[in-house]
Amino acid sequence: MKVIWLKRAIHQRDNQEEWYRSTKGLDFAKTFIRNLYRAELQIREMPDIGQKEKSALDGKSVRSVLAHPQCRIIYKYDDKAITIIRLRFMMMRE
């Protein structure tokens, strides 16, 4: 199944990776990205794995899955593709 990352999600991923790289180090940033892609593979194999939620933006049904101890992937899917809508971070930055 095809996975599509919306620009907003890509921007959030890149910003968080850069923040981890500058504050926690390169290894931590690599682990963050590796965890995101592992979660993406899990979603691709079993799209209904995530918890059902209501989107804060439009109230539509979406799913979320924990990708990293501090990050959830918010996504939706249909027969053709999985769309990564955004990332939600659990903790505030230091």
Find all residues with CB under 8 Å of 40, minimum gap 6, and list them.
Answer: 3, 67, 73, 84
The model's pLDDT over 39-49, given as tens digits with 9 standing for 90+, comes to: 999 999 999 88
The model's pLDDT over 4-62, given as tens digits with 9 standing for 90+, comes to: 999 999 999 999 999 999 999 999 999 999 999 999 999 999 998 888 887 666 667 89
> Which of 1, 18, 8, 17 lies closest to 56, judged by CA?
8
Residue 29 domain flag: yes
Token duo for residue 1: 């199944």
pLDDT computed for residue 1 by the predictor: 83
Q: Which single residue is written with the structure tokens 């979603």?
A: 43
Residue 9 domain flag: yes
Residue 94 domain flag: no
Structural domain that includes position 60: 2-88
How many domains does the chain divide into? 1
Residue 24 domain flag: yes
pLDDT computed for residue 23 by the predictor: 93
Residue 93 domain flag: no
> Which of 83, 65, 87 lies closest to 20, judged by CA?
87
Q: What's the CATH code of the domain at 37?
A: 3.30.2310.20
Identify which has the larger pLDDT, 57 or 78: 78
